[in-house]
Amino acid sequence: MPRHSAPLSGGSNNPRNNPRHQQRPAPRHGGQPGSSAPLPPSAGGAVSRGANEGLGAAAAAEAAVRAAREQRAAQAQRAAQQEAAAARRRAAASGPLDVDPSQPSGAPTQPQYGSRYQQQGGYDGYASAAGPRVMAPGAAGAVVSPYADQDRYKKKSNKKKAGIVSLVLLALLVVGGGVGAYLYLNPPTFNVTVNGMTRTVSQGTSPADIVADGVVSPKAGNLLAVDGAVLEEGGGTAFSGTINGNEITDPKTALHKGDTVQIVDGTDVTEEYDVEVIETEPGRAELGEGAIHVYVPGEKGKTEKRTGKVSGTVVEEVVTPVQNNVYLQYNANPGDEKVVALTFDDGPWDTTSELLDVLAENGAKATFFTIGRQIADQPKTMKKMVEAGHQIATHSWDHASAGDGRGVDMTRQTPEEQIEEVQKGQQAIADATGAEASKAFRSPGGNYHGDIIWNLQPYVTSEIGWNVDTEDWRRPGVDAIAQRIESAKSGDIILMHDGGGPRSQTIEALRIALPYLREQGFKFVTIDELLAYDDAKAIAQSLEEAQGQ
């Protein structure tokens, strides 16, 4: 910290700041009123010498004051050091130091910035007046140290030690409890029940250990060849059994307290073998009788040819029995429901739209087997069929007119002509409706036997016959047609025509018969809805099994 000297009495040391040393400036123009006359040269020199003499005297006075101040500061420092030494001697004789421990030995107390600090000439002046800081004397006159209250520190130390001991004890209790719980759940020895007998076993004991210790003596199974012949007695599993009712898959499974173990004789094991898989293509079968004719796809059979690695024996074993492609014929069985399927052939025709109105009046759905080449001429009728929710399937492209079909019998056509009749008929439906045609099919004249069955299998899922033939194509009269419709039983398929000629008799017969059937509780369904009542695959399997017996 820089030292500050007290100003000299009578003004500043700087002659510029001392009014006594400043000269009044000479007037710039002599002779002006109120101005002083210029000094002669001799007078100017005298003034200059007087000023220099005044400056020298001031410097000497300041040096004297500074020396006196430094002397007082040195004396004060020596006095403080002596006092501090005396305090240390007293403290050594009677107890802790009486000097404030926050101050270094022999150092004066830090001065506070204030008027006395300034008046005494900075730090040096303050140090000469400030004495050492000491603690207030006690009752006996001794200086009290801040560390004199030893009991307080002893109490804090004892509390800390007690807390540590408590934590250690708590940790020991937790560890001890965990060990106890583990030993309770996993005792070193415990009881199990083996074949109805209570046995005490050690931890880690397995069923294999029980057998090895002779607690039970099961008989091992044999090693067998692929044909079942015994290759090695006792070469199978050593034993088999259960633990708490669960099969023993690993003989070295560790047992637990309270387990119930049942150990019995071992099982036979077949030797390892090489396998060659032989596939069998499905055959064809025509089964059953009825108006519904559906295809039940077959499945390839799989047979394994096994060659034993030990014995060299070769055997063949059927893994998956072959299932034939079945052309199944049956009648629908709707159970307790009363349903009939109305079907119409040879349309669409000019009168088909009127027939659709009669069906709508009676809430009846039907299936239309259409002639493909006639569809393009009846776009409105086809749209009306679709919007009413009827099923649309093909009845061939031109009613078997190509080749030797003679307009009624597709069985006389070549396989290519048969396929073309179906595919073109289905495409005409798709073009008119914008949707894929039904895969149901009705062959012209109901002629569907022989090779045509398998020729068309990839293209149709069913060929639909009928249970009731109204013979409306003969136009026998309205009453005759109506009576035949009313004779239908639940599950029957009724054959009618909406094309191929005038169909006014059929339309009028429907006006009579449909209300009657509704009164009898019948519901009118499409062919697909009728097929859904039965499990064709289950029927086919049942018939095949019956044939095999």
Contact (Cβ atoms closer than 8 angstroms) between residue 376 and residue 401: no
| Three-state DSSP class for residue 341 | strand
For 268-280, what is each residue's pLDDT tens digit?
999 999 999 999 9
Angle at 466 (CA atoms; ends 462, 470), nearest 5 degrees:
150
Q: What is the mean pLDDT of the chain?
A: 83
CATH of domain 333-533: 3.20.20.370
Edge-first strand order for the sheet with 269-270 is 230-232, 223-224, 269-270
CB 234 within 8 A of CB 206: no
More confident residue, 326 or 13: 326
Regarding predicted confidence, which is higher, 31 or 58?
A: 58
Catalytic residues: 345, 497
List the structure tokens of 124: 């040096």
243-248: which pairs have CB atoms within 8 A and are 24 or more residues apart? 243/207, 248/207
Q: Which residue has the higher pLDDT, 485 or 42?
A: 485
User: What's the pLDDT band for 83 if we cut at 50, 70, 90?
Assistant: confident
Name the nearest CA neighbour of 462 among 490, 443, 434. 443
pLDDT of residue 548: 76
Residue 110 has pLDDT above 60, yes or no: no
* Residue 546 vs residue 140, higher pLDDT: 546
Considering the chain, what percentage of its residues have pLDDT values greater than 70?
A: 74
Is the pLDDT score of 175 beyond 60? yes
- In the structure, what pLDDT confidence band is assigned to residue 198 with cuts at 50, 70 and 90? very high
> In this predicted structure, what is the pLDDT of residue 61?
66
Residue 394 has pLDDT above 80, yes or no: yes
- Rounded to 5 degrees, φ, ψ at 94 are -120, -5
Specify the fold of 189-270.
Ubiquitin-like (UB roll) (3.10.20)
Domain residue extents for the chain: 71-136, 153-185, 189-270, 273-328, 333-533
Residue 88 has a pLDDT of 80
pLDDT, position 151: 58
What pLDDT shows up at residue 153?
54
Note if the pTM is more than 0.75.
Answer: no
- State the pLDDT confidence band at 165, using cuts at 50, 70 and 90: confident
Nearest to 540 by CA among 376, 349, 389, 326: 326
